[in-house]
C-alpha cells in the first residue's frame, strides 16, 4: 500500500514568489522523462551501506531516502521515471516494486527499476553519464522532449515543474539546479559561477578551494546534481562522451563543464522551486555521511522541524506496511512506557521504558527499564531490558541484550563499534556478532 494524497489538480501550489503555476506550458511535465541515479554505494555511511544502496537507507521512521526524489516527481506531474540501480540493489528494487506500483500504466505512467545490464559493451557503469548512456534505449522509447536527471540520495522537496517552465522560457539547452552552501562544505559539490542572466560561466567539480559568491564571501553556489536537458542534446552528448577515452563519463566532471564552455548551461535557483523553506533558506540535505544522516533525522524530533513531513499538499510517499499502531505499556512510578520529543513508528512497543529525542523506526521493541536518548533505532530492532543508549544509530535487525550500554564512553564504544567525528555511535549486526537471513 502507498500513502494517499499525491499531488493533483486540486492543489493550487504556488511558487515562493506567490505566482500560480497556471503558466506551465501545456503537458510539459508529461513530455519529461526522469532518470534517477540510484546505483551508488555511499561508502561514507560506513556499515549502513554494507548491505544496501545509499538510496535504500531508512529515513524519518518510515521512509527510504529515495522516496524524496520519487515523490517530487509524482507531485510535480512527472510520471515517467526510470531508476538506475547497480550496487546492492535488491532491497531498493523490492521497495520500489512493492511501494510505487500505483501509477496508471494504461496512461503511460510508470516507475521502472533498471538494474545495470551491460547494454553497451562489457563494462558496468563507469560514471553517472555512462549509466544514462548505457540506457539510451529508454530515452528513445520515451520520446521525451526533456530529460530530468536526478540523484536518488538527497533529502529535499522541490517542484520540478517550475524548473521545467523556467528552462523553456529561457530557451535553455541545459539547466542545473543550484543552491548556496557554506564555503567550508562547498568542496563536496560542483561549484559554479553565473552571469547576470543566470548563464553558468564557470563550473568546477569538487574543487579543493571553492570560489565564493560575489557579495557573499562565506558561501559558494553549488550544483545539486539535478540536470535538465533537451533530450536530443543529451543523447548526442552521451554518444560523444562514450567515445572519449579521456573522459571519466560523469555529468559533473565531464559533460556539464564541457557544455558550460560552450555557453549552453543555465542555473536554476533552488529557492525558486523549493517546497520546504526554512525562513529564506531552502531545505536540501546531502545525507552522505553518518553525522549528516544522524542530524537530518534528529532534526525531525524538534518542536518545529526544518523538514516538514506533515504537508498534505506535497506528501512524501512510500511503501506503507500494514502494521498495528505504536504501543506504550505500564504506568508505574518506576516502570512507565513513554516517549518525549520523539518519532515512534507503527508496530513499535515501548514497554516500561523511556524514549527521549529519538526516532524509532517500524517494529522496534524497547524493554523494561531501558533508556533511549538522542538515538536512531532502525526497523526491527529489539532493545532488551535495562539498556542505555545515547547518540547512537542502531541498524536494522540488531538485538541489544539486557544491560547493553552504548554512547556514554567514546573509548569503549570505539573498541567495539564505529564512532563518528561528532561522537555518534553506529551499531550494526556484524559488530554485535549477529546475523540475519535477509539484510535490507
Residue 133 lies in a domain: yes
How many other C-beta atoms lie within 10 A of the C-beta of residue 183? 18
Same domain, 280 and 353: no
Which of 301, 335, 364 is the last residue in one of the domains? Answer: 301
Grid look-up 515523490 returns: 71
DSSP helix, strand, coil percent of the chain (3-state; round to 5): 25, 30, 45
Residue 234 lies in a domain: yes
Residue 6 lies in a domain: no
Rounded CA separation 289/412 (Å):
22
Same domain, 237 and 284: yes
Burial (CB count within 10 angstroms: exposed 0-12, middle 13-18, buried 19+), residue 229: buried
Decide the pairing of beta strands 331-332 and 343-344: unpaired
Same domain, 291 and 393: no
Same domain, 342 and 244: no
What string of DSSP letters covers 309-331?
Answer: ---TTS----B----PPPEEE-E
Same domain, 357 and 226: no
- Which residue from 166, 123, 126 is spatially nearest to 148, judged by alpha carbons? 166
Residue 61 lies in a domain: yes
Contact 393, 375 (CB under 8 A): yes
Residue 7 lies in a domain: no
Same domain, 150 and 96: yes
Identify the bridge partners of residue 222 per DSSP, sorted by sequence position: 179, 191
Between the alpha carbon of residue 412 and those of residues 373, 397, 434, the distances in Å are 18, 23, 19
Q: Which domain holds residue 394?
A: 327-432
18 φψ region: left (φ > 0), alpha (ψ -120 to 50), beta (else): left
Same domain, 115 and 223: yes
- Provide the number of structural domains found in the chain: 2
Query: The CATH number of the domain where 278 resides is what?
Result: 3.90.550.10
Residue 24 lies in a domain: no
Same domain, 256 and 353: no
What string of DSSP letters covers 127-179?
Answer: SHHHHHHTTHHHHHHHT-SEEEEEESSEEE-B-HHHHHHHHHHHT-SEEEEEE
Between the alpha carbon of residue 236 and those of residues 73, 156, 230, 239, the distances in Å are 25, 30, 10, 5
Query: Grid coordinates representing 103?
Result: 501509477
Which of 301, 317, 339 is the last residue in one of the domains? Answer: 301
Handedness of CA 24, 30, 31, 37 (dihedral sign): positive
Same domain, 292 and 341: no
Same domain, 226 and 359: no
Same domain, 289 and 395: no
Query: Grid coordinates representing 143?
Result: 520520446
Same domain, 261 and 158: yes
Which residues does 58 contact at the CB level (< 8 Å), separation at least 6? 64, 361, 378, 379, 396
Between the alpha carbon of residue 207 and those of residues 183, 186, 189, 217, 222, the distances in Å are 11, 8, 8, 16, 11
pLDDT of residue 187: 94
Identify the bridge partners of residue 327 per DSSP, sorted by sequence position: 349
Query: The CATH number of the domain where 389 resides is what?
Result: 2.160.10.10
Residue 350 lies in a domain: yes
What are the mean pLDDT values of the chain's consecutive 10-residue runs (440 residues total)?
A: 35 39 67 93 89 95 97 97 92 95 91 80 79 94 97 97 96 97 95 97 96 95 98 97 95 97 97 96 95 98 96 95 97 94 98 98 98 98 98 98 98 98 98 74
Angle at alpha carbon of residue 112, lines to 110 and 117, rounded to 5° = 160
Query: Grid coordinates representing 255?
Result: 559533460
Residue 438 lies in a domain: no
Rounded CA separation 265/173 (Å):
7
Amino acid at each position: 500500500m502507498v500513502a494517499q494524497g499525491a499531488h493533483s489538480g486540486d492543489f493550487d501550489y504556488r511558487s515562493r514568489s506567490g505566482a500560480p503555476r497556471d503558466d506551465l506550458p501545456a503537458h510539459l511535465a508529461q513530455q519529461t522523462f526522469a532518470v534517477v541515479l540510484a546505483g551508488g554505494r555511499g561508502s561514507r555511511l560506513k556499515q549502513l551501506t554494507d548491505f544496501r544502496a545509499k538510496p535504500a537507507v531508512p529515513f524519518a521512521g518510515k521512509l527510504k531516502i529515495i522516496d524524496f526524489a520519487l515523490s517530487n516527481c509524482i507531485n510535480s506531474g512527472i510520471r515517467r521515471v526510470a531508476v538506475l540501480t547497480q550496487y546492492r540493489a535488491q532491497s531498493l528494487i523490492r521497495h520500489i516494486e512493492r511501494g510505487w506500483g500505483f501509477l496508471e500504466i494504461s496512461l503511460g505512467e510508470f516507475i521502472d527499476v533498471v538494474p545495470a545490464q551491460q547494454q553497451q559493451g562489457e563494462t558496468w557503469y563507469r560514471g553517472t553519464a555512462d549509466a544514462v548512456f548505457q540506457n539510451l534505449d529508454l530515452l528513445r522509447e520515451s520520446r521525451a522532449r526533456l530529460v530530468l536527471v536526478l540523484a536518488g540520495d538527497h533529502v529535499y522537496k522541490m517542484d520540478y515543474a517550475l524548473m521545467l517552465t523556467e528552462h523553456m522560457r529561457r530557451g535553455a539547452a541545459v539547466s542545473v539546479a543550484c543552491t548556496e552552501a557554506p564555503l567550508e562544505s562547498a568542496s563536496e559539490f560542483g561549484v559554479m559561477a553565473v552571469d547576470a542572466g543566470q548563464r553558468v560561466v564557470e563550473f568546477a567539480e569538487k574543487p579543493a578551494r571553492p570560489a565564493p559568491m560575489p557579495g557573499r564571501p562565506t558561501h559558494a553556489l553549488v550544483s545539486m546534481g539535478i540536470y535538465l536537458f533537451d533530450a536530443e542534446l543529451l543523447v548526442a552528448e552521451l554518444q560523444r562522451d562514450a567515445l572519449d577515452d579521456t573522459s571519466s563519463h560523469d555529468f559533473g566532471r565531464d559533460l556539464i563543464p564541457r557544455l558550460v564552455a560552450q555557453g549552453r548551461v543555465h542555473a536554476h535557483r533552488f529557492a525558486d522551486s523549493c517546497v520546504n523553506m526554512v525562513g529564506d533558506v531552502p531545505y536540501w540535505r546531502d545525507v552522505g555521511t553518518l553525522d549528516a544522516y544522524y542530524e537530518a533525522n534528529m532534526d525531525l524530533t524538534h518542536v518545529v522541524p526544518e523538514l516538514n513531513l506533515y504537508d498534505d499538499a506535497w506528501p512524501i510517499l512510500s511503501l506503507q506496511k500494514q502494521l498495528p499502531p505504536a504501543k506504550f505499556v505500564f504506568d508505574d512510578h518506576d516502570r512507565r512506557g513513554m516517549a518525549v520529543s520523539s518519532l515512534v513508528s507503527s508496530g513499535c512497543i515501548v514497554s516500561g521504558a523511556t524514549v527521549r529525542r529519538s526516532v524509532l523506526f517500524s517494529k522496534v521493541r524497547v524493554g523494561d527499564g531501558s533508556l533511549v536518548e538522542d538515538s536512531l533505532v532502525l526497523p526491527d530492532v529489539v532493545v532488551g531490558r535495562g539498556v542505555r543508549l545515547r547518540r547512537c544509530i542502531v541498524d536494522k535487525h540488531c538485538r541489544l541484550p539486557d544491560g547493553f550500554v552504548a554512547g556514554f564512553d567514546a573509548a569503549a564504544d570505539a573498541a567495539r563499534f564505529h564512532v563518528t567525528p561528532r561522537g555518534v555511535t553506529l551499531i550494526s549486526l556484524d559488530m554485535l556478532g549477529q546475523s540475519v537471513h535477509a539484510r535490507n
